[in-house]
């Protein structure tokens, strides 16, 4: 969503030697503040809610995103629930914030009192001059008993498609197990996707016609976030 909305232009996906995967971007960082209107006790950070509840992504906060390329607040919370462990690192507003999860449950939560209300903020682990979000997770082999090893070629194919659909965003894939890597920057958008699919084939129309534009969310029936 950060890339689609124009706040991120670099995404790095790494397959680590232990079969965990990390996804890091240079977006604005998931909001880290405690949601004081949270119905949960203690009150949780926006990041913790996003990673533990369905339909809790930023796009559901009125017009946070005019467009969205995500899974409607389902993706990362499901990944979290199905992972042996997951680590979230958010670099935002000069601070490094972290959360650790195991099978979707936050580990060693920080508990504080604010105006008599118990809250559970993200743990601040350092200072930074960078920004962005990094998620690293290990699939739970008690759930994925077969086919739980990440296949480089499958990921590369999907990331190449995403690079075409997000022109101007650099998407990199690194496999620390083999040393293999790909950089999908500058793929040329949808026009480049057509050229890639055509390959060396003899095509009926050698010239690809392409147009782009934008319109306000209100033009889609007034539905916020579209």
Domain ranges of the chain: 10-219
DSSP type of residue 199: T
Per-residue confidence of the chain (226 residues) as pLDDT tens digits? Answer: 677 777 889 999 999 999 999 999 999 999 999 999 888 899 999 999 999 998 765 544 544 444 444 544 578 999 999 999 999 999 999 999 999 999 999 999 999 999 899 999 999 999 999 999 999 999 999 999 888 899 999 999 999 988 888 888 999 999 999 999 999 876 678 888 888 888 888 888 888 888 877 766 555 454 444 4
DSSP type of residue 202: P
DSSP string covering 48-63, please? HHHHHSTT-SGGGSTT
Rounded to two decimals, the pTM is 0.81
Look up the CATH number of domain 10-219: 3.30.565.10
Reading the block at residue 3, the tokens are 């890339």
- For 118, counting Cβ atoms within 10 Å of its Cβ (0-12 exposed, 13-18 middle, 19+ buried), the class is exposed
């Amino acid at each position: 969503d950060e890339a689609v909305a124009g706040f991120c232009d670099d995404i790095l996906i790494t397959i680590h030697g232990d079969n965990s995967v990390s996804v890091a971007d240079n977006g604005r960082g998931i909001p880290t503040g405690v949601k004081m209107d949270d119905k949960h006790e203690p009150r949780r950070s926006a990041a913790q809610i996003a990673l533990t509840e369905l339909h809790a992504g930023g796009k559901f906060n009125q017009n946070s995103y005019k467009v969205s390329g995500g899974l409607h607040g389902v993706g990362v919370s499901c990944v979290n629930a199905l992972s042996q462990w997951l680590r979230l690192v958010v670099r935002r507003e000069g601070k490094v914030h972290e959360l650790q999860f195991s099978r979707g449950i936050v580990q060693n939560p920080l508990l504080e009192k604010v105006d008599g209300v118990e809250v559970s903020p993200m743990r601040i682990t350092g200072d930074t001059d960078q920004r962005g979000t990094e998620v690293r997770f290990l699939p739970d082999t008690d759930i994925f008993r077969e086919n739980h090893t990440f296949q480089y070629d499958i990921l590369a194919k999907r990331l190449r498609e995403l690079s075409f659909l997000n022109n101007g965003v650099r998407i990199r894939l690194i496999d620390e197990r083999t040393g293999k890597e790909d950089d999908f920057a500058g793929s040329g958008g949808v026009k480049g996707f057509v050229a890639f699919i055509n390959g060396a084939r003899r095509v009926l129309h050698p010239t690809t016609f392409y147009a782009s534009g934008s319109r306000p969310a209100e033009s889609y029936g007034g539905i916020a976030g579209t």
